[in-house]
Amino acid sequence: MIIDCISDLHGFYPKLKGGDLLIIGGDLTPFDKIHEYADFFRWLKKQDYEKKVLIAGNHDVFISKGWPQTKEEADTCAEIREMVGEGPQDFDYLCDSGCEFGGFKIWGSPWSLWFHGINPKCKAFTGSEQDLANKYCKIPRDTDILITHTPPFGILDECSKGRVGSNELRSLILSRRRMPKLKLHVFGHIHEMGGCMFESSLCKFVNAAIMDENYDPVHEPRMIEL
């Protein structure tokens, strides 16, 4: 199976070749505006993959609220609903939930760590390590492909502040008894490590962030074969 992995789009929608599975790891729009989500879903609908799976990220506040605030937003939501609900839906949106494709069990979780000084406009799906632990405990033991917005601590998570991934996620991933079938872990969030892959005896780890730390789309989508 050929898998294309992208994350942290922030409004940059790359031209993709198409294939078997597309994974999108959150932070979808430039400024979290409702019309920008319409742009995103129009782009997503055009992507030629047998299966498309996406999660949200800490910038996707509108998704975390899940409700329009004005008539204009409600009208635009009606258009989105046609694309993602009432009309043919050709993707899976995962929020502490899963799906299956090609014999692989896929699980997605949008959560990342809250920290002092976080931009109040960018704290969707954030919490403490204990909050994240309460979400990650839902991940099924037989998961083959895991999608999270945050990286695990110490794995493709380094930025100017040091290592900033989740220790709870690291503990989960490193426990072979807890996740013995895991083959691929896709995440983003830390732009400085975007486009990087690390392969260990546990699984393949991919930081699929498109943007760098200056929000320039310099990282190419990562193609993985399973």
DSSP 214: T
**Other Cβ atoms within 10 Å of 26 Cβ, number:** 31
CATH architecture of 2-225: 4-Layer Sandwich (3.60)
Please return the burial class of 122, using the count of CB atoms within 10 Å of its CB with bins 0-12, 13-18 and 19+: middle
From CA 94, how far away is CA 141, in angstroms rounded? 17
Question: 105-109, 158-162, 174-178: which has the minimum mean pLDDT?
Answer: 174-178
CA atoms within 13 A on the CB side of 74: 3
Confidence band of 28 (pLDDT split at 50, 70, 90): very high
Q: Tell me, what's the pLDDT at 112?
A: 96
Per-residue model confidence as pLDDT tens digits over 114-163: 987 788 889 999 999 999 999 999 999 999 999 999 999 999 999 988 89
Per-residue model confidence as pLDDT tens digits over 49-61: 999 999 999 999 9
Helix axes 34-46, 71-84, angle to 10 degrees: 20
Q: Tell me, what's the pLDDT at 80?
A: 67
Query: By three-state DSSP, how is residue 140 classified?
Result: coil
From CA 190, how far away is CA 130, in angstroms rounded? 21
**Other Cβ atoms within 10 Å of 81 Cβ, number:** 11
Domain borders along the chain are 2-225
Confidence band of 82 (pLDDT split at 50, 70, 90): low
Q: Tell me, what's the pLDDT at 56?
A: 95
The overall average pLDDT reported for the chain is 91
Please return the burial class of 216, using the count of CB atoms within 10 Å of its CB with bins 0-12, 13-18 and 19+: exposed
Per-residue model confidence as pLDDT tens digits over 185-205: 999 999 999 999 999 988 999
Number of H helices, E strands in the chain: 5, 15
Integer distance in angstroms from the first to the last C-alpha of the chain? 5
User: Between β-strands 97-101 and 104-109, what pairing exists: parallel, antiparallel or unpaired?
Assistant: antiparallel
Helix/strand/coil percent split, the chain, to 5? 25, 25, 50
pTM metric for this prediction? 0.91
Confidence band of 47 (pLDDT split at 50, 70, 90): very high
